[in-house]
Amino acid sequence: MRSNLIAGEWVNGTAVPNINPSDTSDVIGEFASGTAQDATDAIAAARAAFDTWQFSAPLERHAILSKTAAELMARRDELGELLAREEGKTRAEATAEVGRAAQIFDFFAGEALRLTGEVGASTRPGVEVAVTREPVGVVGLITPWNFPIAIPAWKIAPALAHGNTVVFKPASLVPASAHALVDILHRAGAPAGTVNLVMGPGRSVGQSLIEGDLDAISFTGSTGTGALIAAESAKRMRRCQLEMGGKNPMVVLDDADLDMAVRVCLDGAYFSTGQRCTASSRLIVTEGIHDRFVAALGEAIAGLNVGHALHEGTQIGPVVDQGQLDSNLAYVAQGEAEGAMRQIGGEVLNRDTAGFFQRPALFTGCTNDMTIAREEIFGPVAAVIRVRDYDEALHVANDTPFGLTSGICTRNLKHASDFRRKSQAGMVTVNLPTAGVDFHTPFGGRKGSSFGPREQGAYAREFYSSIKTAYINAG
């Protein structure tokens, strides 16, 4: 059994099997499910370790993060296969995710050495002013199942680079990737208590973290849980960072290159089985290109190979588990009940192995007030909304409680520039899929998608460090 890591020691818990969604007969391993007390102990361990770690030398932090990056990159094929087995994304996508995690650790190894601050004169003669950054303290990290090694990487790496200690709770569906990452950090020399892993259910481990003695908490997951964390953090005067999903629009204008628009929408809506918070699940298409676009996209969907994540030629893997599959099917039924037309897909598929396979679904005749156009489905389901022109497309794109990412396909520079400026989203793409972002740039949205400072890149320091202003009498 793979154990939790608390205060530098591997701690057992209740053994829970980890099941492959491509083949439910494949048990990847048994992983310890911790308790609320384990979470409390981990917070205490991180608190004790912070006393020393906050004053650690930049080169020490750099060395640990660099070693972690190097091992992730060296083992990306092995760890990519492990990730594909437990989460269900294709081998190619999973291997690329491990590579991205390595790049993230490498970037923040550099950030550990990139010391920033200001020194200047006061308005008072003979007084010097120094502005420096210091670590926040003990940070709780709660991550989702859809990117089980990249998202933990982009939270853990900046936390450590800026001198914080960590209590990490991964989603219960993906313990293998989390355990592998923490094991690498542990062997890379992370001192006892600086990185603590507590696997287990949200109702016990997660709740204990939310209500625990943390200085900050970074969360990626559902809107409901995010709202709970915000409320609890406000009561404790504790900083929080929340990423809570999206219902992302992709606008396709009459002047778009049709082949490119189809590729962009196919990737954005359906790759990774649509299980991305950046997925473009609302396709807003002007009437001049609508019919040709729907026909071409439907043909592309029909040609997708849905199957076992590790099999050669698979383009779309399984849904992560039975619960998510049931949710997807309920949304498909809801879409039809509300009058949307299912052009293709949505049904369960049988393959050589028992798994959670679903054909990607495309709905047309949708309006922006339908459930499938308002709520995040988190599966391979996209709704096409027909509009008259660019102005209506922009209005519909912004008519959502979310604001993570958005995109437009057009050859018109004026419309591209106007959309980039007026789109109410934290990230905008032009002639590119909404899904797929760089590791060195800020990640985050607006409205109900995000709360708090941005993640990733140099902007991560805004969450993981605090500013100190010192006045020195130089006389």
Q: Where are the alpha helices (DSSP H) in 88-247?
A: 91-113, 150-161, 175-187, 207-210, 223-235
CA torsion sign, 87 to 89 to 95 to 100? negative
Active site residue 287: no
**Would you call 155 helix, strand, or coil by DSSP?**
helix
- The catalytically annotated residue of 86, 93, 232, 243 is 243
How far is residue 410's CA from residue 430's CA, in Å, rounded to a whole number?
8
- Reply yes or no on whether 409 is catalytic: no
- Tokens (6 digits) for 76: 């990306």
The dihedral over CA atoms of 145, 150, 156, 162, expressed in degrees to the nearest 10, equals -150
Pick from 310, 305, 277: which is nearest to 91 by CA? 310
DSSP state for residue 360 in the 8-state scheme = -
Identity of residue 473 = N
Q: What counts of helices (H) and strands (E) characterise the chain?
A: 15, 24
The CA-atom distances, in angstroms, between 151 and each of 18, 20, 102, 110, 166 are 20, 20, 12, 19, 14
User: Any alpha helices (H) in 114-195, and if so which ranges?
Assistant: 150-161, 175-187
Residue 389 DSSP class: S
Catalytic residue among 240, 277, 366, 409: 277
Contact 324, 367 (CB under 8 A): no
| Token pair belonging to 436 | 């797929």
- 421 touches 394 (CB < 8 A): no
Provide CB contacts within 8 A for 247, sequence distance 6+. 281, 282, 373, 374, 375, 376, 400, 401, 402
- Give the start-end residues of each E strand in 360-403: 361-366, 381-387, 402-403
Q: What are phi and psi of 67, to 5 degrees?
A: -60, -40
What positions carry a catalytic annotation? 243, 277
